[in-house]
Amino acid sequence: MRILVATAVPAERDAVARACEGAADLDVLAVGVGPALAAAATATALARAPYGLVVSAGIAGGFVPDAPVGSLVVADEITAADLGAETPDGFLPVTELGFGTVTHRPPPALVREAAAATGARTGAVLTVSTVTGTAERAALLRRRHPSALAEAMEGFGVAEAAVLHGVPVLEVRAVSNPVGPRDRAAWRIGDALGALGTGFGKLVPVLDGWRQS
């Protein structure tokens, strides 16, 4: 069973690929930024070759204090945070409008094993099309999604493609910055990429076990 790891950008791809060097039947692909491109590129890869698992991986913003910079998060829910409609009474997800889905759930056993092996926190990882840049929006997202630990831009797109192909999905994120006011000086991208690589090095045996089960 082959495993596809989908990252957004080449720097994330390279961090994962270095950690997984020598792992058989594991392909790491940079699928692009944002849920639409991530979904299209992942679906294309799944159409070209058989895979038994897809992992969305990369860096992310973390909701403080639960997911500090440098920590690792494994998603137990992959949720599209802004897929829906604004109404006079507030935001409605597409599920409440009567169509679509906003959440995909990775296999619980795999989430537990991945978190145990890597020391990661588990919780919801939100997918957004616009990265949060204010304290007000960060607080709003946490009110809507109390279990959210991180936000990124690709997980839900990757999950949509995986589900359409009947393949389970996992999401793993290393936190590079707090979710909230946009402060480039507070970003620790290099540290997050290092944490991502270290985490994946510990995750490979779990993925090998999943592949053989």
Dihedral in degrees, nearest 10, Cα atoms 139, 144, 148, 150 = -60
- Note every long-range contact of 186-189, with CB atoms under 8 Å and residues 24 or more positions apart, other chains counting: 186/69, 188/69, 188/70, 189/11, 189/59
Q: What's the confidence (pLDDT) of residue 212?
A: 62
pTM of the model as a whole: 0.94
Q: What is the pLDDT of residue 156?
A: 97
CATH class of 3-212: alpha beta
Can you give the pLDDT at residue 137?
Answer: 93
**Domain edges within the chain:** 3-212
- The pLDDT value given to residue 63: 96
User: What per-residue confidence (pLDDT) applies to 21?
Assistant: 85
DSSP 8: S
User: In terms of Cα–Cα distance, which of 73, 95, 74, 72 is closest to 144?
Assistant: 95
What pLDDT shows up at residue 213?
66
What's the pLDDT score for residue 85? 86
Mean pLDDT, consecutive 10-residue stretches, the chain (213 aa), reads 95 94 88 96 95 96 94 97 86 82 95 96 96 94 95 97 96 96 88 95 89 66
